[in-house]
Amino acid sequence: MPKDKGEKTSYQLKVPKGTKDWEGRDMVIRDKIFTNITNIFKRHGAVTIDTPVFELKDILAGKYGEDSKLIYNLADQGGELCSLRYDLTVPFARWLAMNSSIQNIKRYHIAKVYRRDQPAMTKGRMREFYQCDFDIAGAYDAMLPDAEIIRITCEFFQSLGWEGRYTIKMNHRKILDGIFEVCGVPKEKLRMISSAVDKLDKSPWEEVRREMTEDKGLDGEVADRIGEYVVQKGGRELLERLQGDAKLSGNESGSAGIEDMKKLFDYLETFEVLDKVSFDMSLARGLDYYTGVIYEVVTEGSAPQTSEGQTSQGAGKKDSKPKKHATNVDGEEDRSNDPSVGVGSVAAGGRYDNLVSMFSGKQQIPCVGISFGVDRIFSITKQRLAADASAAAIRTNEVDVYVMAFGGKGFEGLLKERMQVAKRLWDAGIKAEFSWKVKPKLPQQFKAAEVNGVPFAIILGDEEVAQGKCKIKEMGLPEGHAEKEGVMIEMANLEKEVLARLGRQGSSTTGLTGGIDKMTLEDAAREVTKTGD
């Protein structure tokens, strides 16, 4: 029944399951990730596009294999059935098909996507999350765009301070298809068997074999032959071993994939990133649209502490009642504390040469790309530093100068003078703040500057203003420093003096100044871990 007038409505104040609010230090760190990755994308000549947050349902349907069940479908609105976008790749292919004059492009896209997955919030597994995509579309000589994608990936993780702490797992869909063919997998089962193989990073071979034979009806001998291949990983030596396999190298699909990988390894060596790659035969990538090289980036936090069906190290007696976890994607359980759930890959992608023609029905534009999962990258950074007691101050804004005033008896606050100084600094492109009190106390002004890590203060006093002067003070100087109490400057030279000092400190009037811009992302995450979410 409707509520009586004046009766208050009671709200359940929470965000929807699988989502979160972002603020403060977490936002600073996430923005740092965005800044790093955008600069790298632009360095490689990319332009950006944007697409609607929802697409026609038919556009997304059938593109994601078994994961299609995770798509958020929307109610009929005005005669159109729509779905929230699951990733940024399919919308990009749809955009290319609609803009037939564009035959080649390097594009990046940073936006939110949506999946009805079961969340593990602290591990970055969410229902609403950001993806940062970089794709190269167009017909080029084999494996050159693919090599640049891998180079971009390495540049990004190096910019975050992850050097030596990540691996790019790589495989080729044509090699996989060749393996399945020579092992005797029926054509109609290729994709479903590929999807089963992709679970080897989470489940032991015995469980994957059981799924192949019992759930998907594959002959046991065929599954065993597949098992001999997919457990292998390595580098050039594995590629040479596959090339020496008469059956696989004699298969059209397998041979084409091996030739592609040989070229790619040569190019990655030239780019000096081959040591970051692991040729992993178990990598299959469940999405249906991949046609060539596939890859995903993993790190220590990617894998679960234990895998379902495997015994955790150091386990004692068996629990009489094993812990259960909801399997329905609409269940209410957050699996953040489930040791069998890891963060997963932090970036993934591959070549998809047929997706555009699937929409256009005619022109085929080869494409290759990668998607970075910002929330997972953020989560792993926090996990790595959870036990680190050291911390660096993180600035939640980018203000360079705090304009202050002080005086003795009869002090009126110099409000207009502070406002005029702030205006001059803003006009010069300098980030500045002042207190919104008419008569602020000096300790409160210093505290406001210190809390946000503002590097400089402009201090006004009645006598100094009367003489056309002011004091500029660098914050945080040690006792005994010659400029600890500040330096008197001519008001006429205000902008010039401030810009000179900002330049010496390595600050920029257009970019991040101080704080997180002077530290690695890992330094920043230490403070997040210390202060809490």
- Residue ranges of the annotated binding site are 87-89, 115, 131, 135, 285, 289-290
Give the whole-angstrom CA distance, residue 104 versus residue 97: 12
Per the annotation, binding residues for L-histidine are 87-89, 115, 131, 135, 285, 289-290
H or E element in which residue 168 lies: strand 167-172
Per DSSP, the residues of 198-241 read GGGGTS-HHHHHHIIIIIT---HHHHHHHHHHHT-EESHHHHHH
Closest CA to 343 of 371, 315, 376: 376
End-to-end CA distance of the chain: 40
Tokens of 405: 């005033």
- Both tokens assigned to 417: 């003078």
DSSP string, 471-528: EEEETTPPTT-TTTT-EEEEGGGHHHHHHHHHHHTT--SSS--SGGGGS-HHHHHHHH
Looking at the DSSP assignment, which residues form a beta bridge with residue 461?
A: 406
- The stretches of 369-458 forming alpha helices (DSSP H) are 374-384, 415-427, 442-451
Q: Which residues pair with 133 in a beta bridge?
A: 109, 371
Token look-up 């009190």 returns: 437
Q: What angle do helix axes 144-159 and 24-43 make, rounded to 10 degrees?
A: 150
Query: Nearest-CA neighbor of 168 among 184, 155, 185, 187?
Result: 155
Q: What is the largest CA-CA distance in the chain?
A: 95
CA atoms within 13 A on the CB side of 262: 11
Q: What are the residue ranges of helices labelled H in 367-435?
A: 374-384, 415-427
Do 47 and 105 form a contact (C-beta atoms < 8 A)?
yes
* CB contact set of 215 (below 8 Å; sequence gap of 6+): none
